[in-house]
Structure 1
């Protein structure tokens, strides 16, 4: 991958990330509060819907940029040695590497954001200071494993499906898809991936919001899923699935469409 292409992927990914995260922040807040252990109303309901937005504003660009520069570079390297039937595997591997790298930036931002979303009266800086004072830097990375375990299955579904739908649409119309068509493919792929990975998202939210020192705070995803199943059953595992699907479908449309269009302009 040429340096110019790498810089285009980095810039386009960062810009797309900021756009989608800020536009869809209210839906993300509703989803987080639906998944929180204290319940939607006690977590704030529809009040303070932009609580935690500074954390997202700061983390969005580097997070999305890190994902796409990793995704495009790994995909470029693997494409040299892969045949057509292995293309979906290439996309899966590239997306997985991208998520592992991006989560190094995403998780601290996500921890602060989600704690602010369920405690709207506390400011973002206060939550950051409290977390660092009581838990240290490891407190900001609580839920890293659960986030990676959520994001990799999500990407294993979303990105191969997105690339497949783009290729299918390109073949049907006889030319490469436009950016808006890529966005439509991204919306469908994202919504489907969001639905099937919601239980992992609920577990990640519970781990990040758990009281320090509790069993859930240890980060055991299977234990978190088991606890949710025992206390709330299937509805608990799929708490917030509708706003999650809505946010990620819209997010996929905006995010991947903006990414494609910006990358085309930069190249």
Structure 2
């Protein structure tokens, strides 16, 4: 009985934690150049001044060092919340449960994601910052701007971007997987899950591009910037100066990255998770 309980707990928390870590590492290393190009397209100084096509791997080690714990924390929280709530909810409430579980996972993940994004995006766009370590960038941000306005600058805008993204991506992914299972005798392969993740990720990425742009502008802004650094203010200013096209700057590399990333991420995640669950069962 005790062994069975330990196996169940390992399957519930340890399997998604380890699978999420491997999946996060795989997708971030694979798609980092596209993320750099997207960030430079969205930067206030413009694509070419922000670095253009040069040094597209600037800040990679920052991502490598944080992607594994961040993805692990997200999926452990997501799967744990989902497994706890789904048995007590009617089937038609499943999408709402997935949304809530995704929001819990995103908030936890942002504790790691935001400082990593601060360091990464400043290395990606600031001239001469490629030789500076992520720690030195964050220490400078802390000394000059403090914890909330420096190291965690853009926390709320990141949550505001990632929650709608997860509200779209995770339920769509789960719904598409359920549809595949219905037509495949309750079974789904990691390849099919990867395709579902690719479509869900691309759709969610395109829809939330304006929020991603606002987050990028807020994180890259100097602490002496005069306009209030608020999501709505940034979106309004961007729309007034650059129109609808400005709001969707970087949509092509972002959507492409998330379609490829969704394929790699969810495919690797489901594959590794299935292997670990068999091992722990």
TM range (shorter): over 0.9
Matches within 5 A, 1:10-29: 10-29=17-36
Contact kept in structure 2, 1:146 and 1:219, CA below 8 Å: no
Structure 2 residue 76 is matched with structure 1 residue 69: yes
Partner Cα distance (2:231, 2:28) in 1: 25
Unaligned runs of 5+ in 1: none
Shift of 1:265: 0.7
Shift of 1:130: 2.4
Structure 2 residue 251 is matched with structure 1 residue 245: no
Q: Over aligned residue pairs, what C-alpha RMSD do you find? A: 1.3
Partner Cα distance (1:184, 1:145) in 2: 31
Unaligned runs of 5+ in 2: none
Matches within 5 A, 1:110-259: 110-119=117-126, 121-122=128-129, 123-125=131-133, 126-138=136-148, 139-216=150-227, 218-259=228-269
Equivalent residue number for residue 59 of structure 1: 66
Change (3 A) 1:210 1:65: same
Partner Cα distance (2:24, 2:35) in 1: 14
Please state whether the residue corresponding to 2:44 is helix, strand or coil: coil
Shift of 1:33: 0.2
Larger Rg: 2
Please state whether the residue corresponding to 1:55 is helix, strand or coil: helix
Equivalent residue number for residue 49 of structure 1: 56
Partner Cα distance (2:256, 2:132) in 1: 25
Partner Cα distance (2:224, 2:158) in 1: 19
Shift of 1:258: 0.6
Q: TM-score with structure 1 length normalisation?
A: 0.96
Partner Cα distance (1:83, 1:103) in 2: 30
Equivalent residue number for residue 10 of structure 2: 4
Q: TM-score with structure 2 length normalisation?
A: 0.92
Contact kept in structure 2, 1:16 and 1:254, CA below 8 Å: yes
Change (3 A) 1:174 1:120: farther
Partner Cα distance (2:226, 2:173) in 1: 37
**Runs of 4+ with >4 A deviation:** none
Contact kept in structure 1, 2:115 and 2:138, CA below 8 Å: no
Equivalent residue number for residue 79 of structure 1: 86
Shift of 1:120: 5.0
